[in-house]
Amino acid sequence: MKKIEIKGVDEYIYEGLCDNGLRVFIWPSDKVKSTFVTLNVKYGSIHTHFKVNGKEKIVPNGTAHFLEHIKFNEKDGVAHDYFQSLGADTNAFTTFDYTSYMVWATKNIDLCLNHLLDFVQTPFFNKEMIEKEKGIIVQEYKMGRDKAYTVAGFEFLNCLYKSFPVKNLITGNEEEINSINIENVKDVFDNFYVPENMFLCVTGNVNPEEIMQIVKKNQSGKKLNKYISEIIFPKEQEKVSKEKMVSVGNVSIPLCKYGIKISRDIFKEYDSREVRLYLRLFASMLFSNTSDFKNDIINSNLANSFGCSIMDDTVFYSMVFSFDSLHPDEVIKKIKNELKNIKLDEKDFKRKIKSRIANYILEFEEIENVNYLIQDYIITDDKIIDNVRDLYEKVNINGLKKIIKRIDFSNSTYYVMNPKA
Amino acid sequence: MEYKKYCHDAYNLHVIKTDKFKGVRIEIQFRSVIEKDEGVKRSMLVDYLTDICKKYPTHKDMSIRSEELYNLGVYGSPSKTGNIMNSFIVADFIAPKYISENNYLEDVVSFLCELIFEPKVENNEFSEVEFNVVKEKIKLDAVSVENNPVRKSLKRAIENVCKGTRTSYFLYADLDTIDKVTPRSLYDSYLNMLENDTCDIFVIGNVDDNVLDELFKKYFVLKSRNNGYFDLFVDNPFSNKTNVIEEKDKFVQTSLNIIYNIKTLTDFERNIAFPVFNYLLGSGGLTCKLYQTVREKNSLCYSIGSMFLRYDNLYIIQVSLEEKDKEKSISLIKKCVKEMQEGIFSDEEIEEAKMNLINSIDSSLDSNISILNNYVYNYIDNVPLLEEKKELINRVTREDIINIANKLKINTIYSLVGEQNEKDRD
């Protein structure tokens, strides 16, 4: 097992590998009482089109999430019941990129770990459970329809992306949910719920060697498929999909989004973490609470709330402005103007780095946080990033200026959700 | 973990010293009996106080100072505990041992005290520009309740059940109430808080408690007062019959709330046995009776849960569903509660509920907020400390749970019916 030193924070993450290809990451801490275990499958809502042995397959939107729901069914009951009998808690979630099965426990870690691996890796599907689950998931989808921010988020993604599947709902819509069948679910399970396409994260009060032994023993007795699939993504155009979209929803003040779509190709020679850090620093320097821009917008009542964030959607970056405003056109005019006359201050840059270092130290405290951090490293970079602190030391204001020069800020889209009449 | 209390004329400082966490949390807590419309003012007040101050007169200045202090997170946290309004100023920051600057802790404490004692004031009222920013924010919170079916239905249900009692004094009131607040009236509310509220400061983290006490003595210049105890409990009236209220709104789903009054509970029942009962019925996640019956066996909903408003003597079951499934769900929910009253649950389920609650207490010992909250409630309401709570949970019997179930009486079935035809939208 590899012991990876996380530089500058006095922490270690252990990395192990099972013979069948399952990767295991462990962060031990004697300061906590509980342990958080996640088994993650690198299969999410955007992976609906794939090729196996030369044969192309397409499953309905929402299949990853549907499988996550029904995966808890077992031959002798449901996984929740078993975990509860051990005094543990369990849940799962599906993102664009992956599906995560989680267990929280303070004791019986070995039993929990074995059962998590067993219930996720063992196929057990029938038509009845699929029909039963449709009613529940349709209600989950409808709950989302009542949430303005969820609806706006996906409608906005449809403005940014023409083809790339992040524009589709993770649950699928009602029709898509109802179209999912047992073959779709089995197809996904057989091809993606395989050890080489999974990774286990254990964070908490554990001994890394013991955990690795338990996992290896569990995996050695199983006959599991090899990973032979190839994900197919449609080619996404450089340009935003729609320049403007107006919608209506459960809001009292128009909910607005303005987005700039940024191709990854323009940063080819850069490490993606460096690009993300620079973009986030840029957004923070120009548009966060420490900026004149945001203070002016809020104090002059042009917007009631205002935020700017950077999204990394696998194929593109995007800079997204979100605000509630009765005067969206004016706000957008000001954003455009700010991006035409960019002023970057070195003192500001250095202060933001300093505060980020404090945040980074604090990340290694809660078992959930560290677990999600590891998940992010593996999903985004396929490795543990041990030199984040070095990156903070390396970046500088000139580097930021060079990055920003490459961006075409005119590749933008504008979305408004107006109140219902 | 070591707890120390420093008593002063104006306030008490409670320090929970531990090296378990890399962060430190300070909560400066002002408490008073809530009066009608005062909740809104206090919500605005703690927001105003943490938004700007005399020395850092714009939000930008404040945010820069927070970043200089290694991303010190400071915010106002208004809340209600039964009859009581809590106006808290909270600060989260990195433990001084990670910072090379020697005076870091003093910088943090003096900054926090500046926010409280040196607000931005012009002509005996709060600054109008920043006041308006705070006002718009709370208006946004108020309208966001109106746009969320679950929150709106809960608010409407409580308004109907708790007419005239302090349970119905919301922190995010209607827009008219918010509009009546002025920079002057908010400043008056501030002076009233400083003059009359009970004040406690709770700190958890790796800090030197003596140093901290000296720093607060130096910067926390609150006038002395009688720091008394409060009656936390709201006496919500029972209803002789079940009230059925149905309202319609623009949403897709229907939100159903069944509100129960609870007959007088002993301290043991309230603090220890009720959570076991609730775990079995509605709060125990994926294995509880309501979830299993309404969602798993009948596929009627995605989300169902229950809430115990311990200081309001109310119990609420809430579910989001299709209108056509409402009556069936009501009868299933009633059946679940009846089963609890008749003791239709196994000894194994009781033991699992107890074990899971004890485990969740163990997990909560990994969170500085949970530990701090437990000390707060131990102080204001003698709620047992977490280690003692674990022992007491083991003493809960089947009879305790059945007794609690039989103390529930339905007051109102409230539903906010979603009128929107989903097919019209897509």
Q: Which residue of B has its CA nearest to A286?
A: B60
Q: What angle do CA B362, B199, B367 make, to 5 degrees?
A: 15
Chain B residues within an 8 Å CB radius of A365: 21-23
Cβ–Cβ of B143/A252 closer than 8 Å? yes
pLDDT digits (tens, 9 = 90+) for A265-312: 999 999 999 999 999 999 999 999 999 999 999 999 999 999 999 999
Q: Give the residue from B219, B254, B281 where a domain finishes.
A: B219
Chain B residues within an 8 Å CB radius of A173: 426
Instruction: Identify the CATH assignment for A2-231 out of 1.10.10.10, 3.30.365.10, 3.20.20.70, 3.30.830.10.
Output: 3.30.830.10
- For residues A163 and B210, what is the distance between their CA atoms, to the nearest angstrom? 62
A88 touches chain B (CB under 8 A): yes
- For residues A357 and A362, what is the distance between their CA atoms, to the nearest angstrom? 9
Answer yes or no: do B247 and B185 share one domain.
no
| Regions of chain A with pLDDT less than 70 | none
Alpha carbon separation from A309 to A258, A318, B257, B350 (Å, rounded):
11, 8, 37, 47
Q: How high is the pLDDT of residue B192?
A: 96
Q: How close, in Å, is residue A287 to chain B by CA atoms? A: 11
Cβ–Cβ of A354/B70 closer than 8 Å? yes
Answer yes or no: do B25 and B153 share one domain.
yes
Mutate to test the interface with B, among A289, A305, A418 (most CBs of B within 10 A): A289
Q: Of A341, A322, A167, whose CA–CA distance to A258 is shortest?
A: A322
Q: Is A304 helix (H, G, I), strand (E, B) or coil?
A: coil
Q: Give the residue from B219, B235, B257 where a domain finishes.
A: B219
Q: Please state the length of chain B.
A: 426
- For residues A37 and A83, what is the distance between their CA atoms, to the nearest angstrom? 12
Chain A residues within an 8 Å CB radius of B68: 351, 354-355
Residue A146 carries which DSSP code?
Answer: T
A147 touches chain B (CB under 8 A): yes
Q: How close, in Å, is residue B283 to chain A by CA atoms? A: 13
Q: How high is the pLDDT of residue B421?
A: 56
Q: How close, in Å, is residue B145 to chain A by CA atoms? A: 10
Cβ–Cβ of B63/A137 closer than 8 Å? no
Instruction: Identify the CATH assignment for A244-419 out of 3.40.640.10, 3.40.50.300, 3.30.830.10, 1.20.272.10.
Output: 3.30.830.10
- For residues A192 and A184, what is the distance between their CA atoms, to the nearest angstrom? 12
Beta carbons within 10 angstroms of residue A169's beta carbon: 20
In one-letter notation, the amino acid at residue A194 is V
Q: Domain containing B177 — which CATH number? A: 3.30.830.10
Chain A residues within an 8 Å CB radius of B286: 78, 80, 84, 90-91
> CB–CB of A190/A62 below 8 Å?
no
A140 touches chain B (CB under 8 A): yes
Q: Which residue of B has its CA nearest to A294?
A: B60
Sign of CA pseudo-dihedral B361, B367, B371, B372: negative
Cβ–Cβ of A354/B149 closer than 8 Å? no
Does residue B231 lie within any of the structural domains? no
Structure tokens at B49: 């106080």
- For residues B381 and A330, what is the distance between their CA atoms, to the nearest angstrom? 52
- For residues B127 and B119, what is the distance between their CA atoms, to the nearest angstrom? 9
Largest CA distance in chain A: 66
Q: Of A387, A383, A361, A362, whose CA–CA distance to A374 is shortest?
A: A383
Does residue B227 lie within any of the structural domains? no
> CB–CB of B421/B250 below 8 Å?
no
Q: Which residue of B has its CA nearest to A291?
A: B60
Cβ–Cβ of A136/B143 closer than 8 Å? no
Cβ–Cβ of B71/A34 closer than 8 Å? no
Cβ–Cβ of B67/A351 closer than 8 Å? yes
Q: Is A162 helix (H, G, I), strand (E, B) or coil?
A: coil
Q: Which residue range forms the structural domain that includes residue B101?
A: 2-219
State the DSSP string of B224-267: P-----------PPP-SS-EEEEEEES-SSEEEEEEEEE----H
Chain B residues within an 8 Å CB radius of A253: 140, 143
A345 touches chain B (CB under 8 A): no
Structure tokens at B115: 């926010």
| Non-local CB neighbours of A326 within 8 Å, separated by 6+ positions | A253, A254
- For residues A170 and A149, what is the distance between their CA atoms, to the nearest angstrom? 15
Sign of CA pseudo-dihedral A104, A110, A112, A114: positive
A358 touches chain B (CB under 8 A): yes
- For residues B370 and B385, what is the distance between their CA atoms, to the nearest angstrom? 11
A32 touches chain B (CB under 8 A): yes
A366 touches chain B (CB under 8 A): yes
Structure tokens at A157: 């993604």
Mutate to test the interface with A, among B147, B318, B360 (most CBs of A within 10 A): B147
Chain A residues within an 8 Å CB radius of B304: none
Beta carbons within 10 angstroms of residue B9's beta carbon: 10
Q: How close, in Å, is residue A3 to chain B by CA atoms? A: 22
Q: Which residues pair with B75 in a beta bridge?
A: B90
Does residue B233 lie within any of the structural domains? no
Q: Of B90, B52, B168, B73, whose CA–CA distance to B372 is shortest?
A: B90
Q: Is A408 helix (H, G, I), strand (E, B) or coil?
A: coil
> CB–CB of B244/B413 below 8 Å?
yes
In one-letter notation, the amino acid at residue B422 is E
pLDDT per residue of chain B (426 residues) written in tens, 0 to 9: 999 999 999 999 999 999 999 999 999 999 999 998 899 999 999 999 999 999 999 999 999 999 999 999 999 999 999 999 999 999 999 999 999 899 999 999 999 999 999 999 999 999 999 999 999 999 988 988 988 999 999 999 999 999 999 999 987 778 899 999 999 999 999 999 999 999 999 999 999 999 999 999 999 999 988 777 899 999 999 998 999 999 999 899 999 999 999 999 999 999 999 999 999 999 988 889 999 999 989 999 998 999 999 999 999 999 999 999 999 999 999 999 999 999 999 999 999 999 999 999 999 999 999 999 999 999 999 999 999 999 999 999 999 999 999 999 999 999 999 987 554 444
| Non-local CB neighbours of B167 within 8 Å, separated by 6+ positions | B82, B158, B161, B234, B236, B309, B312, B314
Chain A residues within an 8 Å CB radius of B130: 299
Q: How high is the pLDDT of residue A314?
A: 81
Answer yes or no: do B189 and B41 share one domain.
yes
Answer yes or no: do B160 and B44 share one domain.
yes
Q: How many structural domains compose chain B? A: 2
Q: Which residues of A355-373 are buried (b: 16+ CB within 10 A; e: fewer)?
A: bbbbebbbbbbbbbebbbb
Answer yes or no: do B184 and B300 share one domain.
no
Alpha carbon separation from B302 to A134, A175, A176 (Å, rounded):
10, 17, 17
Chain B residues within an 8 Å CB radius of A88: 359
Answer yes or no: do B96 and B31 share one domain.
yes
Does residue B226 lie within any of the structural domains? no
A389 touches chain B (CB under 8 A): no
Chain B residues within an 8 Å CB radius of A356: 71
Burial class (CB in 10 A: 0-12, 13-18, 19+), B220: buried
Look-up of token digits 């012991």: A3
- For residues A297 and A323, what is the distance between their CA atoms, to the nearest angstrom? 10
Cβ–Cβ of B287/A295 closer than 8 Å? no
Structure tokens at A306: 């205002």
Secondary structure element (H or E) that encloses residue B347, with its range: helix B347-364
Does residue B53 lie within any of the structural domains? yes
CA Rg value for chain B: 23
Q: How high is the pLDDT of residue B339?
A: 98
Facing A139 at nearest CB: one of B129, B140, B302: B302
Facing A305 at nearest CB: one of B19, B140, B358: B140
Q: Is A397 helix (H, G, I), strand (E, B) or coil?
A: helix
- For residues B376 and B14, what is the distance between their CA atoms, to the nearest angstrom? 9
A301 touches chain B (CB under 8 A): yes
Structure tokens at B113: 């005290």
Facing B63 at nearest CB: one of A148, A290, A304: A290
Could you give the ipTM of this predicted complex? 0.90
Answer yes or no: do B380 and B333 share one domain.
yes
In one-letter notation, the amino acid at residue B320 is S
Residue range(s) occupied by CATH 3.30.830.10 in chain A:
2-231, 244-419
Does residue B395 lie within any of the structural domains? yes
Look-up of token digits 């239709």: B344
Does residue B225 lie within any of the structural domains? no
Chain A residues within an 8 Å CB radius of B366: 32-34, 366-367
A106 touches chain B (CB under 8 A): yes
Cβ–Cβ of A356/B359 closer than 8 Å? no
Does residue B410 lie within any of the structural domains? yes
Q: How high is the pLDDT of residue B424?
A: 45
